[in-house]
Chains A and B, each alone.
Chain A
Amino acid sequence: MDLTLSGEQRLLADTVRDLVERECPPDLVREIEKSERGYGDGHWKTLADLGLTGLLLGEEFGGAGQGVLDLVVAAEELGRGAMPTPLLASAVFAATAIDLAGSAAQRARWLPAIGAGTAIATVAVLEPGARDEWGAPDAALTPHGAGHRLTGTKILVPYAHVADVLVVVVAVAGAGPGSGRGLVLVDPAAPGVTLRRQHDGGGEPVFEVVLRDVEVNAEDLLGTPAVAGPALAVALDRMTVASTAYAIGGAQRALDLSVEHARSRRQFGQPIGAFQSVAHRCVDMLTDVEACRYLCYQAAWKLDAAANTDAAANPDAAANPDAAAELGTPGGADFEVAAAKSFANDAIRRVFTHAHQVHGAIGFSMEHDLQLHSRRGKTFELSYGGSTWHRERVARALDL
């Protein structure tokens, strides 16, 4: 047992923090948010050069073979600077799905490019009216000639406009863990695919993706349903934990801004931080952020431990569906991931409530940096499962 970061992890955190402070000041974030691209092209190159796009991928794909724990250390620093980036959607969510469910050819086609940052992938999972990413999709394949046609509507798909490939979650028949969900690789430029920008206030570009009779061939199916369901479950858990880390970075920044404000803002002849009602709000923020951080580290560590002991490192999941099917079974990281997300959802909401109260009116203005983070905080809370869903997962993990 040792809850301190390694020297390498601290170095990674410092490196990313310096980089974000230097290259991604808040005014640039505002500018990027208004741009069509929605993320900084230069930032993307820098993150790729730093090896973050290939952090989780195996060395055979040119990756660093590191763990989710290393990734969350970096993601927190990106969140601290509110950097808009397809990193998590591409190099965590989509890359994990392709890595765990893909055939040798699919992995060879996409993983080296995703890892190098020369390709961007994203996952289309949510549909209109969905409460979370774990629900059953309506998008479905219908047999057509030798292949299939895909029809459905996806919403809130991050960075679909710059994606080279979409991993689309579709309804399939079948039983077993993660049953009812299959994965299909779709070219966003293919006939029948229409993108429309949506605005959720979360600071990153998201899209409605309408799929009308999109041609799907055998080589576009990402794993058999028995493989795809568990692979999606693991990919979702990794994405949940990575986005939690990003949100923790934002919450930490909100705390730092609040403390700065409480020290410098004077009313009634003293800094407002000398009033216990203000100071204690800051402490409540700190204790919440700290708890989130260690729950998040634990979930990441557990995901890495599960990956090392079960079939996640299997060289060809599609060829070995039984092994891959173990990925989403109990004994994995269900409890730890759901604990981290359910706690963080509520805690980060509390943190931003306090941060806005400590800041007073100025925190509500767009000229102040707090809004960059509090908008992202709300988006985080509503993404990758709400507290109620994750507490239900915890209850199941407790055999209730």
Chain B
Amino acid sequence: MDFEFTEDDRAFGRRFAELLDEKLPADWQGFFAEDREALAFTREFCRDLGRAGLLTVSWPLEYGGQDAGVWKQTLLRELMTASGEPRGPQYMNLNYIGPLIMKFGTAEQKARFLPPMARGEVIWTQGFSEPDAGSDLAALRTRAVDHGDHFLVTGQKIWSSYADSPADWNLLLVRTNPDAGRRRGMSVLLVDMTSPGITVRPIESMGGWHEINEVFYDEVRVPRDCLLGPLDEGWGVIGSGLTLERIGIPRYARAQRVVERLCDHVRETGRAGEPDVRQKLADLRVRCEAAKLLAYRAISLVAAGANPAAEASTARIHATLLEQAVGQVGLEILGASGRLGSPTEDHAPLHGLVKQQWVHNIPATIGAGTLEIQKNIVAQTALGLPRSR
């Protein structure tokens, strides 16, 4: 056991932190702040990183990466997440869509889809949930009819992140065989978002202008060479992807950054001596530590070659509840002035950081599998409890 990064890993982290200092605009509030300019910046940022070969440092050499290892990847992700995700929507490519293509893709698919991700030139969205298939994802009905050299896709997806950016490509889960049973008969397609028959309708959310969309598919033609993994076996493909996604976002790092800014704030405003403020901030900071260590435990298992599905869910449960607690308790510490949550408000404490933390994490326990679904996974896989109902 070793709770310290190697000097090599730390030096890597320092170099990346310096790079972020240099590249991020002085008034950068994060990709998730209410700022339409942020998306344009993230595109430029990703292309810059891509040109320097830094966007996919943790990818294997053969896919244009530098084989940087899981801990450098972790440090990089922590810095990105803590800084408000300057990679914008493209974090999804790097965290799980790219790795899924590496794992399940054909040689042609890898050659076609991975280099543009490494260059920072492509935005992917995802199509999993449907209006009648949320937590019960296996109830999905979007249909892909097999026509030999292509599929025709018809149906409706919802909560597709960044589809309106606009996204260039889509990782789409569809039903290819309606007679094979609920979890069989699904497949994953890589769909060109410029294909005729696709309509994107942004959904206005509490979190601001982008993020989530409804996407309609009307006889969309998808070439057969865009089928990812085996036909009718898409459930397993998506399962792998969700495990990667669950540990891919170091949510604790953003939470810890907000806690640190709150500590600065109470010191600067002379409130650091208030006993309840001290207790609350200490508690939040300890929970950041717990969530981080559980993520590191799951990553240690990945590094040892295991697939820690239950450990990933455990880590995610802590991290998402922590993110919500930081927003909620943080606002309680700020009190009435915390109501001013927009970066453009003159008197908004910490430029609205804490209010943003609150609102953006309302769905933290919903996306990528609700808290209840995460708990079901842990109950069944780690504890061997019977399937719940």
Q: Please, which residues of chain B bring their CB within 8 A of the CB of A262?
A: 385
Residue B383 at the chain A interface, CB threshold 8 Å: yes
Centre residue among A273, A295, A343, A400 by max chain B CB count within 10 A? A400
Given contacts A273-B386, A276-B388, A280-B375, contact A400 B279 (CB under 8 A): no
Please state if A295 and B385 are interface contacts (CB–CB under 8 Å): no
Please state if B386 and A259 are interface contacts (CB–CB under 8 Å): no
Given contacts A280-B379, A395-B281, contact A3 B3 (CB under 8 A): yes
User: Which bracket fits the contact residues of B?
Assistant: 35 or more
Please state if B385 and A343 are interface contacts (CB–CB under 8 Å): no
CB-nearest residue of chain A to B374: A283
Please state if A279 and B282 are interface contacts (CB–CB under 8 Å): no
Residue A375 at the chain B interface, CB threshold 8 Å: no
Q: Please, which residues of chain B bring their CB within 8 A of the CB of A395?
A: 278-279, 281-282
Please state if A6 and B1 are interface contacts (CB–CB under 8 Å): yes
Please state if A291 and B294 are interface contacts (CB–CB under 8 Å): yes
Bound complex: CA of A290 vs CA of B315, how far in Å? 9
Bound complex: CA of A301 vs CA of B385, how far in Å? 34
Smallest distance from the beta carbon of A135 to chain B beta carbons, Å?
17
Residue A196 at the chain B interface, CB threshold 8 Å: no
Residue B293 at the chain A interface, CB threshold 8 Å: yes
Please state if B378 and A286 are interface contacts (CB–CB under 8 Å): yes
Query: What string of 1s and 0s marks CB contacts (under 8 Å) between A276-289 and chain B?
Result: 10011011101100
Q: Please, which residues of chain B bring their CB within 8 A of the CB of A392?
A: 278-279, 282
Residue A391 at the chain B interface, CB threshold 8 Å: yes
Identify A276's interface contact among B293, B314, B389, CB under 8 A.
B389
Residue A373 at the chain B interface, CB threshold 8 Å: no
Interchain pairs with CB closer than 8 A, number? 149
Residue A9 at the chain B interface, CB threshold 8 Å: yes
Smallest distance from the beta carbon of B370 to chain A beta carbons, Å?
12
Please state if A274 and B304 are interface contacts (CB–CB under 8 Å): no
Bound complex: CA of A39 vs CA of B62, how far in Å? 61
Identify A275's interface contact among B290, B303, B383, B388, CB under 8 A.
B388
Given contacts A273-B386, A298-B3, A302-B3, contact A287 B281 (CB under 8 A): no
Query: What string of 1s and 0s marks CB contacts (under 8 Å) between A300-325 and chain B?
Result: 01100100000000000000000000
Residue A294 at the chain B interface, CB threshold 8 Å: yes
Smallest distance from the beta carbon of B250 to chain A beta carbons, Å?
13
Residue B221 at the chain A interface, CB threshold 8 Å: no
Query: What string of 1s and 0s marks CB contacts (under 8 Å) between B276-305 and chain A?
Result: 011101110111011101101100110110
Q: Please, which residues of chain B bring their CB within 8 A of the CB of A301?
A: 1-3
Identify A400's interface contact among B278, B291, B300, CB under 8 A.
B278
Q: Please, which residues of chain B bring their CB within 8 A of the CB of A297?
A: 1, 3
Q: Please, which residues of chain B bring their CB within 8 A of the CB of A259?
A: 383-385
Query: What string of 1s and 0s marks CB contacts (under 8 Å) between A1-45 and chain B?
Result: 111111001000000000000000000000000000000000000
Query: What string of 1s and 0s marks CB contacts (under 8 Å) between A371-396 and chain B?
Result: 00000000000000000100110110
Centre residue among A302, A305, A391 by max chain B CB count within 10 A? A391
Identify B318's interface contact among A287, A342, A388, A400, CB under 8 A.
A287
**For chain B residues 360-383, which have a beta carbon within 8 Å of chain A?**
372, 375-376, 378-379, 382-383
Given contacts A4-B300, A274-B389, A395-B282, contact A279 B9 (CB under 8 A): no
Identify B386's interface contact among A270, A294, A298, A388, CB under 8 A.
A270
Identify A294's interface contact among B2, B9, B294, B372, CB under 8 A.
B294
Centre residue among B74, B281, B375, B387 by max chain A CB count within 10 A? B375
Smallest distance from the beta carbon of A169 to chain B beta carbons, Å?
26
Q: Please, which residues of chain A bring their CB within 8 A of the CB of B9?
A: 1
Bound complex: CA of A343 vs CA of B294, how far in Å? 14
**For chain A residues 305-360, which have a beta carbon within 8 Å of chain B?**
305, 338-339, 342-343
Bound complex: CA of A4 vs CA of B297, how far in Å? 7
Please state if B383 and A69 are interface contacts (CB–CB under 8 Å): no
Please state if A283 and B293 are interface contacts (CB–CB under 8 Å): no
Q: Please, which residues of chain B bring their CB within 8 A of the CB of A290?
A: 294, 297, 314
**For chain B residues 243-286, which have a beta carbon within 8 Å of chain A?**
263, 266-267, 272, 277-279, 281-283, 285-286
Residue A368 at the chain B interface, CB threshold 8 Å: no
Q: Can you give 7 contacting A-B residue pairs, CB < 8 Å?
A: A1-B6, A5-B1, A259-B383, A283-B379, A305-B4, A395-B279, A395-B281
| Further contacts, 12 of them, CB under 8 A, given A4-B304, A274-B389 | A1-B2, A2-B1, A3-B296, A274-B386, A282-B383, A287-B294, A291-B291, A302-B3, A388-B279, A394-B286, A398-B285, A400-B281
The 10 A-B pairs with the shortest beta carbon distances in the complex, nearest first, are A394-B282, A294-B293, A395-B278, A391-B282, A291-B290, A273-B385, A279-B379, A274-B386, A3-B300, A276-B388
